[in-house]
Amino acid sequence: MKLDKGMIQVYTGDGKGKTTAAIGQGIRAYGNGLRVVMIQFLKSNETGELNVLRNLGDNFKLVRLEKKRGFVWTLKSEEIEELKKEVIEEYNYAKEVLVNDLCDVLILDEVMGVLKNNFLSEDDVLELIKSKQNHVEVILTGRNVPEKIAGYADLITEMKEAKHYFSKGVNARKGIEY
């Protein structure tokens, strides 16, 4: 199966659920016979959904090159340089996937965080978007979508935090937040 027309979707905002929405869309696509590649930038911790995604087979490929480390703002300069190299490898893999028509849905999870940390430029991401074949859906996630990227998007969903139990001191819970 191929899509007649692939769109550009963005899940952004300060609320919870951006990655979850992208994974849900990927699962729906996979369940309908589409090939999905999900690249998770800036994420190295194990999460519950990874156990499921890794077992889906060749039509749902999950890529995470970064070795386990803390948040970007906690890293030393040499760790940041190492992380930047890993991000560039993931970006180059995304280009390869699009050029070689290896998927029908490409998810670039936390790509906005990559932009915020200056590991890639907006133009790099726009190059990916512009290079996609007509039938390929591209899903981007992360806070603070830049205007130039928003201009190319066909759908933007903003997750807005109205209330969150973190503010009451509840820590991230296994099975819910990870």
The C-alpha atoms of residue 103 and residue 99 are separated, in whole angstroms, by 10
pLDDT of 90 > 90? The answer is yes
Query: Is residue 69 in some structural domain?
Result: yes
Query: Is residue 26 in some structural domain?
Result: yes
Closest to 107 in 3D by CA, of 175, 1, 7: 7
| Residues 122, 146 contacting (CB under 8 angstroms) | yes
pLDDT tens column, 138-163: 999 999 999 999 999 999 999 998 89
Query: Is residue 169 in some structural domain?
Result: no
The partner residues of 140 in beta bridges, in order of sequence, read 10, 108
Query: Is residue 22 in some structural domain?
Result: yes
End-to-end CA distance of the chain: 32
pLDDT of 66 > 70? The answer is no
Query: Is residue 171 in some structural domain?
Result: no
Query: Is residue 81 in some structural domain?
Result: yes
Reported pTM:
0.91
Mean pLDDT for 29-52 is 91
CATH number, domain containing residue 95:
3.40.50.300
pLDDT tens column, 42-61: 887 778 888 899 899 889 99
Query: Is residue 94 in some structural domain?
Result: yes
Full domain range(s) for residue 60 = 8-162
Query: Is residue 172 in some structural domain?
Result: no
More confident residue, 168 or 43: 168
What is the domain count for the chain? Answer: 1
pLDDT of 166 > 90? The answer is no
pLDDT of residue 23: 97
Which pLDDT band holds residue 172 (cuts at 50, 70, 90)?
confident
